Amino acid sequence: MYNTVLVAIDLSADSKKVIDTAVQLAGDTRKLHLVHVVEPVAAAYSMDIYAVNISELQQEAINFAEQKLKKIADELSVDADRVHTLLGAPAPEVRNLANEINADAIVIGSHGHSGWKILLGSTAIKVLHGATCDVMTVHVGKEA
């Protein structure tokens, strides 16, 4: 049913469940694209970090993500041209990549939060709003 499935993962232990669901949905790992979005360091920290070289810290975060994502891709036999490490705000970056690769579906994890976290929104909700393809959320994390 789906020819191109974009799997957005956060590189946590929960990523395995998201990937497994995407593999089942696609039926073939050759249909998968993997993406991890590294948020800009300045956006991730609200405190003053004047003593740190921000660009160096940012590059370390990107390198770390690329290595982890490459390892996952190698285990799944996903070609390197289908592995994407991006820098920016996760939701718009995932939506933009989905459009760029003509994805039929996006698979992303969601913790299914309630209360304030719903009001503030999660990455999965933000990806859903504005997506031009199907979006499947996979419940991850601890049960409430």
**Interval 9-20 mean pLDDT:** 93
Residue ranges per structural domain of the chain: 5-139
Per the model's pLDDT, the better-predicted residue between 97 and 141 turns out to be 97
Q: Is the pLDDT confidence value at 50 over 70?
A: no
- What order of strands is seen across the sheet that includes strand 134-139? 83-87, 32-38, 5-8, 105-110, 134-139
5-139 in CATH: which number? 3.40.50.620
The per-residue pLDDT for 120 is 43
For residue range 16-34, list pLDDT tens digits in order. Answer: 999 999 999 999 999 999 9
Q: How confident is the model at residue 78 (pLDDT cuts 50, 70, 90)?
A: very high
Q: Is the pLDDT confidence value at 47 over 80?
A: no
**Interval 110-137 mean pLDDT:** 75
> Could you tell me the pTM of the whole model?
0.86
The per-residue pLDDT for 119 is 45
**Interval 65-76 mean pLDDT:** 97
The per-residue pLDDT for 31 is 95
